[in-house]
């Protein structure tokens, strides 16, 4: 019995062949030259139900939720930006408002 050490990437790829690609444990064991016992241990450690993979899945779900919310908020901002542009294609700033109030005599000149 040998005490070979395998890199973590090798173990993760072996588990992916079993979980994602559907190969049997015996087949992967034979092709890679590792024991089935080692593969089952790797599946427990690196498989889809492993705790750190569950945390990654939760983080991915949170990222997707935040991206969706960002898209919604960005669209709302763009709508409000378009609404803030008046018919002369200028933004409704305080000076534009003041100009229109003077033009249409909204308040007496003495106030200005």
pLDDT digits (tens, 9 = 90+) for 31-74: 999 999 999 999 988 887 776 766 777 788 899 999 999 999 99
Domain membership of residue 79 (yes or no) is no
CATH number at residue 16: 1.10.10
Domain membership of residue 27 (yes or no) is yes
- Tally of domains within the chain: 1
pTM of structure: 0.45
Q: Is the pLDDT of residue 77 over 90?
A: no
Domain membership of residue 9 (yes or no) is yes
Report the alpha-carbon distance of residue 100 to residue 104 in Å, rounded.
6
Q: What is the domain extent for residue 45? A: 1-49
Residues with Cβ within 8 Å of residue 15, at least 6 apart in sequence:
39, 42, 43, 46, 47
């Amino acid at each position: 019995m040998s005490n070979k050490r395998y890199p973590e990437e090798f173990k993760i790829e072996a588990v992916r062949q079993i979980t994602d690609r559907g190969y049997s444990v015996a087949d992967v064991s034979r092709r890679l030259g590792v024991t089935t016992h080692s593969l089952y241990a790797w599946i427990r450690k690196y498989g889809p139900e492993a705790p750190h993979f569950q945390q990654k899945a939760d983080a991915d779900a949170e990222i997707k939720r935040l991206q969706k919310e960002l898209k919604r908020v960005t669209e709302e901002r763009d709508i409000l930006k378009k609404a803030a542009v008046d018919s002369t294609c200028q933004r409704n700033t305080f000076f534009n408002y003041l100009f229109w109030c003077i033009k249409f005599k909204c308040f007496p000149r003495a106030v200005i």
